Structure 1
Amino acid sequence: MARVSQEHLDARRRQIVEGAARCFARDGFHATSMQDVLKETGLSAGAVYRYFPSKDAIIVALALEVLERVGGSFSRAAAAEPPVQPGDVLADTLEEVLQTLDVPPSLIIQVWAETLRNPELAAVLHRGINAVIASWTAIAQNYQRQGLMRDDVPAEHVARTVAACVQGFLIQRALLAPDLRPDVLRDGLRGLTSLTLD
């Protein structure tokens, strides 16, 4: 029997995750069955269950994928020299996620809601968000070391505010303005950071 390459296994896994994401985005997690995922992907039950024992496992895989992409981008920004403007980091990261992962913001919000009933997913999300906050804390500390940001504000508070901007952007895009672009954050943060008061 011929050995299946890792590349083939990765492509099959990607096929399942992408098909499930389309189903979840269209019908929601709870209205989507594993049969729907099988139909969407065109794969047999055995092929799908080889990678994912349940629908919840696919949801966890989706969350991990988004968080790893976001976390990696923010980690690179934390190490950047010279420092990158906060709005540029946010906008570029969101643009990358929206373009390369093809995960609609409505699906991301469903994942957040699902953490209220799924402890495994909640743990994944907590780890991922904590990693993002750690990266942004490092970015803020770098700004402070270089005299680009006030040092009397805790860097973690800056990080949590930035995380809230991302979450708010995704909520607006999912619920109010589906064509909202990440450049809105770039411009908005540029405006806020240029504020001068007497």
Structure 2
Amino acid sequence: MARVSQEHLDARRRQILDGAARCFARDGFHATSMQDVLKEVGLSAGAVYRYFSGKEDLIAAIAGEAVGRVRQAFERAAQDSPPPTPDVLIGRVVRTLFGDEAEKQQGLDRRAYAGLIVQVWSETLRSERLAATLGQAYEGLRVSWAELVGLYRVNGVLVADVPDEHIARTLIATAQGFITQFALFGDAGPEFLERGLRGLMSMDLQKAS
């Protein structure tokens, strides 16, 4: 029997994940059955279960990828030296997540993908496994963003006496908030987020106090 190449195995796994993501984005996690996934991807149960033990396994894999994309987008956006300001940084992150190339790779339109991410977040409230997966990913993301805030301080562009972690959590929350808003309403692109942050950053805090 011919040996199956790793490239073939990876492509089959990708096919299953993409099909499951389309099902979940369209009908939600709980309304989607494994039979729905099998029909979507056009594979036998044996072929799918070779890669994933069931729906929860699929959801966990999709969740891990979603967080991974956020982290990769951030790491690419933060490679500049000095690091980009928050408006530019977060704008790059969301553009990477929801740009034309990302839409092509995921096989979902931008709003559907944002909705899938929000579904993943809400599912953590009932799934200990998913909560553990996302919790670990979030911790890594928080540490990375805190390091970036430290670079702001080193470069002299951040003077407020606020812990790096507090600012990192706020940056992450801003990105999360945009994803949620986009999933629910779909009426504002990354440029709204960039301009809004730029406007807030221009405030004269001495006058405000």
CA distance in 1, matches of 2:147, 2:160: 13
Q: Structure 2 residue aligned with 1:106, among 105, 115, 118?
A: 115
| CA distance in structure 1 between the aligned counterparts of 2:152 and 2:44, rounded to whole angstroms | 52
Give percent identity, aligned residues only: 53
Establish whether residue 116 from structure 1 lines up as the match of residue 128 from structure 2.
no
The separation in 1 between residues aligned to 2:98 and 2:44, in whole angstroms, is: 29
Q: Among residues 178, 184, 192, which one is paired with 2:192 in the alignment?
A: 184
Q: Distance in 2 between matches of 1:66 and 1:58?
A: 12
Q: Does 1:72 align with 2:91?
A: no
Q: Deviations over 1:88-136 (max 9, x none)?
A: 2212111212242446111111111111111111011111111111111
1:85 alignment counterpart: 85
Amino acid at match of 2:47: A
Of the structure 1 ranges 94-103 and 155-164, higher mean CA displacement relative to structure 2 is found in 94-103
State yes or no: 1:61 paired with 2:61: yes
Distance (whole Å) between structure 1 residues aligned to residue 85 and residue 128 of structure 2:
36
Q: How far, CA to CA, are the matches of 1:97 and 1:45 in structure 2?
A: 31
SS in 2 for 1:20: helix
Contact 1:78 1:135 survives alignment (8 Å): no
Counterpart residue identity of residue 194, structure 2: R
Q: Match for residue 129 of structure 1? A: 138
Is residue 161 of structure 2 the alignment partner of residue 161 of structure 1? no
Aligned partner of residue 84 in structure 2, secondary structure? coil
8 Å Cα contact 2:82-2:155 kept in structure 1: no
Shift of residue 79, structure 1, vs aligned partner: 4.7
Counterpart in the other structure of 2:34: 34
Q: Distance in 2 between matches of 1:82 and 1:146?
A: 7
> For the Cα contact (< 8 Å) 2:78–2:89, is it kept in 1?
no
User: In the alignment, is residue 147 of structure 1 matched against residue 156 of structure 2?
Assistant: yes
Query: Do 2:60 and 2:130's aligned partners in 1 also have CA atoms closer than 8 Å?
Result: yes
CA contact (8 A) 2:70 2:97 kept: yes
1:25-57 per-residue CA deviation (whole Å, 9 max, x = no partner) reads: 111100100000000001111111011001011
Secondary structure of the equivalent of 1:104?
Answer: helix
Deviation at 1:157, TM superposition (A): 0.7
Normalised to the residue count of structure 2, the TM-score between the two structures is: 0.89
Q: Secondary structure at the match of 1:31?
A: coil
Superposed CA RMSD = 1.5
Counterpart CA distance in 2 for 1:22 and 1:108 is: 12
Question: Unmatched 5+ residue regions in structure 2?
Answer: none
Extract unaligned runs of 5+ from structure 1: none
